[in-house]
Structure 1
Amino acid sequence: MKNETPTERTCPKCGCVYTEVPALSRTDNKTLICPDCGIRETLESMGISKEEQEKIISIIHRNTAE
């Protein structure tokens, strides 16, 4: 296993700084975005409302923090 220092990136969509593995934007299949924006793009493509998207992301954050 490599001992790599996490790379800080700034999401071009939301401006948040993150260190997780980036997601590939569905809008152009080129741009790396933060995992949360990646989830939002996926949920939006499924017709999930913005309010429901935020609830889902909140649940994901709550469960990964445990």
Structure 2
Amino acid sequence: MRKCPRCLKDYAERPVISRRDTKTEICTACGLEEALVDLIRRGGRQLPEIVQRREDRMVAFIRRAGR
């Protein structure tokens, strides 16, 4: 089992690489969300609340892991 640094949930499937930094392994659900957000942004619309919420969770996870 792995823990996704974006959503903080455990997952067993193969990880995907985050589009945000191109090195962090995340769960497929978060990878799909990043792809959809990018697709929407290309169309001129943005969902900043989703991006900010996920980024806040990722920062919190990294800080906890560093303790």
TM range (shorter): 0.5 to 0.7
1:45 deviates by: 0.3
TM-score, with normalisation over the residues of structure 2?
0.60
TM-score, with normalisation over the residues of structure 1?
0.60
Q: 1:23 aligns with which of 12, 16, 31?
A: 16
Higher relative contact order (CA 8 A, sep 6+): 2
Give the % identical residues. 42
Alignment RMSD, CA only? Answer: 1.6
1:29 deviates by: 0.3
Regions of 4+ moved over 4 Å: none
Which structure has more helix as a fraction of its residues?
Answer: 2
The structure having more radius of gyration, on CA atoms, is: 1
Q: Distance in 2 between matches of 1:12 and 1:46?
A: 22
Q: Distance in 2 between matches of 1:43 and 1:12?
A: 18
